[in-house]
Structure 1
Amino acid sequence: MTVPQTATHIFQTSFGKIIALKENGVIKVKSIRYARSERFQKPVPEQPSPKELIFPDKTPVCPQVISQLVEKMIGVTNIDDFDPDEATQYLSVFRPEFITENEKLPVVVWIHGGSHEIGCGDLPTSDPSDWVKEQQIIVVTVSYRLGLFGFLGGDENRPPNLGLFDIIEALKWIKNYIPEFGGDAGNVTLLGQSSGGDAIAHLMISEGVEDLFQRVIIQSAPLGLRNKRQKMSAEFLRKTEPLKDETDVLKMMDEYRKSVPSVFKYGLKAAMPFGTQYGFPPLCKEEESLDRWKDSAGKYDVLIGLNNDETAFYLKTSEAINKYFGTGLGLKIMDKTVEKTTEFIYGNPARIFAENYAKAGGNVYLFRTHSGSQDYHIGAPHCIDLPLIFGNEQAWKSAEMLKDIPWTFIHENGKKLRALWAEFARNGCISDDSERPEIIKIQKITD
């Protein structure tokens, strides 16, 4: 294993003097605070400071309940590396060590997933260093408020969509300051997976985002769960009302989980009880959303898609379900359920989105990732695209999701995928002559 070669690097910016870490050809600026907020209040931009900005020993993270499924499938989270902070407005910048003078690099902004409930921008499994080095791009990772703090709400005391407002503030910071890191503020691509992709789709139709980004890459967005959420959100809000003034954030996390079963009656959408909410700033009314996306067709290049067996991540890894449906006829029923739920939550909505966008004159590509092997019993599930995009074998080596897949297969396909996504980030197009990974099918959608 290669021993990291580390040193420090100083950025003298108009935001402040920023101390960065230089490691194996990549400069990392970690955990810059881009805004601040009080509980259930909109974010306020962080002001420039004469002080030296040094990234903290621990990574700030929005208070959350650790997901046992994510721990099993992706890897164990070392909680000692993180510091809970309900005002989680931080971003990190990853830049190639060597760039030419006056060079402006394309900027990719990573919006993490996690059902609008868990995760953060800075996890070892989403360290973009491999991508930054290979493709000579800048990647900015964004943390924002989640769950009770960012994606519930519904009244004056607890406004919804605060997580979206956080991301918008991050994008404003990037537009203002990324040129001082060598980035092109006029060439910004938003990249999001799962709920991060859902957030990006809704940023496209949000107020206050003019000229903040030019392209979007939406991976595995659960757009099939976006409609008719009002009653569920209102009930969940009422159930969690007693927690709004709780000072112990960890107690809040323990207590709100007790209210989740109360929304199971709302069906599949209850799998994601937190989310973006129409009819509240910065979003339009739900019935206006399709027209708003059509109106945005001239503004943004779009690359949208999914993995072929998204819901296998949840269904085929459940010991309780596999007890009855793991073999024979039960397995056939399981396979059909994965197929149907994948299409309902991810596949059909992505296709319809792409077709509507193309009809409105938009530049849009649709992709689908496959497993590439019949021997892999859960196929190409939710999150399988993450090691392809980010690489980092060390971070992924214990992932149950990859136990049957040689890392050489991940690396070879991932390197090609990273090149394709970087090509799109540079110019909004993917050439017919560009090399494709064997596990992905991608097409330009035309009217």
Structure 2
Amino acid sequence: MTDTVFETRFGPVRGRDDGDCIHIARLRYGAAPTGDRRFAPPQPVAPWDGELDCSAAASPIPPQLPSRLAKVMGDFPAEQDEDCLHLDIWTPKGASGLPVLVFLHGGAFMTGGGGLSCYSGGALAARENIVVVNVTYRLGVLGFLPIPGIAPANLGLMDQELALRFTRDHVAAFGGDSANITVCGQSAGAYSIAALMTRNTAPDLFDKAILMSAPLGIAADAPAARQPAAKVLLDALGVAEGDLAAARAAPVEALLKAQVAMLTAQSRQADNVTPPFMPTVDGDFIAHDPVDYLKAGKAAWCPTVLGVTREEHAAFHFQDQAFAANASALLRQRFAEDYPDNTEGALARARAMRNPPDDRAVLIDYGSDKRFVEATFHCADGHVTAGGKAWTYIFAWQSPNAEIAACHCIDLPFLFGNLADWNGAPMLAGADGSEMDAVARSFGGAFAAFAGTGAPNGSTGLPWPAYQPSGIALSFDRKITLTVQPPSL
């Protein structure tokens, strides 16, 4: 196998032969966000002298704590480095003018990275003849915690915007069509896309969007709502308010330890999975609540695929004894809050939708609906009512482990088709390999068709009509079927 050198506007780049594709790893899109650039907006990368060697290992991931969803996804060890503003690109050999899929990973805005092996884009790029670009961006306290006098809001979103601009400007050198870019995000990555859609710059950055399991039932806060958490973090760090120099000088290990203190100080009920880090409506970089913006149809310019997994919340509550022990009481509390005039009737309807009517499962349905499903379809309604094009789906293929079900993140292996990289994932343990491969070809193939043509049923033969209000969604399972839009609990 021979490495390939690509000629870009900023200088030559060497990529590694990965079999059917060339992998360009650790391609810097922004200057290192370290030293005086810590807690600062990202700066564009400068042209380089000589050949840039991007043939080594995948990009490092940002400094982070262990993932709260490793219990279903498995662990994917990777190098961590604050110098993390990199792209990983997979391009078929000899590519020219191919559709581009840019992936923004999830992880509650505090874990993950585009260089993780579970997100390897080589299999998808080779099978579907597209260019896949993974973005690594700042997370946690370094990317999503506004700290007065120290850190502006939404630094991680600024990173993503810079990465998309770099991709638009340079992807043609790697065989991509710079006029046909689809941004695809899962969970926090999907919410990020919704936030970026509120920007006037969005049409300059991408042409189409895919929102996988976006927690659109969570409203974005104002920066002031994050100040108590920021104070806890600064106290744990031993840094005075507004002391930017001290915050920039703090070791990464100390920042992560202070982040633990901040997370520990937050009191949450067992069914609350709202991320402690989120984009904020700062009136500057983000001027509008992303969910309200989408519901109002203000991103109708962008053809969009939106979808959820059937039991999103099951991932968060797998092996969660506190949740199981309190499920009946929490379920009654939530329904008393939402349906004060008919709590018993609403509970009876919700239980009737589950067989058997187990309160733990019903509470998982409730959380899935409130934080994911309901708002996703409301956003689709607003999008098409305003004249936009949308397609909706429900990923219903479920784990052999009934407690995991069709949980949050279970669709990721089927997007990338890199099933071997997920061998240690508890959510896939015991599943039939040929069955998973068939679902992956349909699911990843539909997204690739959308990236190529603007319609997910383009070359796939799937019966996936465009969405209409109170319409239908495509259900991805062992068989692909159309299903009625899921009712709200």
Calculate the TM-score normalised by the size of structure 2: 0.81
Match of 2:166 in 1: 173
Residue number among 461, 471, 478 corresponding to 1:434 in the alignment = 461
Find the aligned partners of 2:433 and 2:151 in 1 and give their Cα distance: 45
Match of 1:271 in 2: 274
The 1:172/1:272 distance shift into structure 2, 3 A limit, reads same
Partner secondary structure for residue 100 of structure 2: strand
Residue number among 253, 268, 281 corresponding to 1:250 in the alignment = 253
Question: Deviation at 1:390?
Answer: 1.1
Match of 2:244 in 1: none
The 1:386/1:372 distance shift into structure 2, 3 A limit, reads closer
The 1:350/1:395 distance shift into structure 2, 3 A limit, reads same
The 8 Å contact of residues 15 and 47 in structure 1, kept in 2 or not, is answered as yes
Question: Deviation at 1:266?
Answer: 9.0
Question: Deviation at 1:405?
Answer: 1.7
Task: List alignment gaps of at least 5 residues for structure 2.
Answer: 238-246, 329-354, 464-475
Match of 1:16 in 2: 11
Residue number among 79, 82, 88 corresponding to 2:79 in the alignment = 82
The 8 Å contact of residues 59 and 83 in structure 1, kept in 2 or not, is answered as no
The 8 Å contact of residues 225 and 268 in structure 1, kept in 2 or not, is answered as no
Cα deviation code 1:75-102 (max 9, x no counterpart):
2233xx41322x4211011101133xxx
Match of 1:61 in 2: 61
Find the aligned partners of 1:58 and 1:266 in 2 and give their Cα distance: 38
Question: Deviation at 1:435?
Answer: 3.0
Amino acid of the structure 1 residue aligned with 2:282: G
Match of 2:411 in 1: 385
Cα deviation code 1:240-295 (max 9, x no counterpart):
23433452101211222112243335997663010100134321143994279623
Find the aligned partners of 1:245 and 1:330 in 2 and give their Cα distance: 54
Further displaced range: 152-161 or 172-181: 152-161
Match of 1:198 in 2: 191
The 1:130/1:291 distance shift into structure 2, 3 A limit, reads closer
Find the aligned partners of 2:282 and 2:272 in 1 and give their Cα distance: 18
Find the aligned partners of 2:119 and 2:222 in 1 and give their Cα distance: 30
The 8 Å contact of residues 232 and 273 in structure 1, kept in 2 or not, is answered as no
The 8 Å contact of residues 25 and 58 in structure 2, kept in 1 or not, is answered as no
Amino acid of the structure 2 residue aligned with 1:170: A
Partner secondary structure for residue 434 of structure 2: helix
Cα deviation code 1:125-177 (max 9, x no counterpart):
11111111111000000001111111111534210101111111111111111
Match of 2:387 in 1: 361
Partner secondary structure for residue 283 of structure 1: coil
Is 1:95 the counterpart of 2:104? The answer is: no
Find the aligned partners of 1:48 and 1:140 in 2 and give their Cα distance: 20
The 8 Å contact of residues 25 and 57 in structure 2, kept in 1 or not, is answered as no
Residue number among 146, 156, 168 corresponding to 2:139 in the alignment = 146
Task: List alignment gaps of at least 5 residues for structure 1.
Answer: 1-5
Match of 2:332 in 1: none
Find the aligned partners of 2:76 and 2:250 in 1 and give their Cα distance: 25
Amino acid of the structure 1 residue aligned with 2:462: E
Find the aligned partners of 2:254 and 2:125 in 1 and give their Cα distance: 39
Cα deviation code 1:35-55 (max 9, x no counterpart):
023111011100111222113
Further displaced range: 422-431 or 51-60: 51-60
Is 1:129 the counterpart of 2:122? The answer is: yes
The 8 Å contact of residues 72 and 404 in structure 2, kept in 1 or not, is answered as no
Amino acid of the structure 2 residue aligned with 1:174: T
Match of 2:340 in 1: none
The 8 Å contact of residues 232 and 263 in structure 1, kept in 2 or not, is answered as no
Partner secondary structure for residue 91 of structure 2: strand
Find the aligned partners of 2:163 and 2:484 in 1 and give their Cα distance: 30
The 1:314/1:304 distance shift into structure 2, 3 A limit, reads same
Match of 2:302 in 1: 300
Partner secondary structure for residue 28 of structure 1: strand
Find the aligned partners of 2:324 and 2:268 in 1 and give their Cα distance: 23
Find the aligned partners of 2:76 and 2:321 in 1 and give their Cα distance: 21
Amino acid of the structure 2 residue aligned with 1:95: T
Question: Deviation at 1:330?
Answer: 11
> What is the Cα-based RMSD across aligned positions, in Å?
2.8
Further displaced range: 107-116 or 246-255: 246-255
The 8 Å contact of residues 161 and 280 in structure 1, kept in 2 or not, is answered as no
Match of 1:3 in 2: none
The 1:158/1:442 distance shift into structure 2, 3 A limit, reads farther
Find the aligned partners of 2:151 and 2:7 in 1 and give their Cα distance: 39
The 1:265/1:403 distance shift into structure 2, 3 A limit, reads closer
Amino acid of the structure 1 residue aligned with 2:277: F
Cα deviation code 1:412-436 (max 9, x no counterpart):
1011111111111112113387236
The 1:273/1:288 distance shift into structure 2, 3 A limit, reads closer
Match of 1:155 in 2: 148
Calculate the TM-score normalised by the size of structure 1: 0.88
Cα deviation code 1:87-126 (max 9, x no counterpart):
4211011101133xxx310000000000000010011111
Partner secondary structure for residue 379 of structure 2: helix
Find the aligned partners of 1:177 and 1:390 in 2 and give their Cα distance: 23
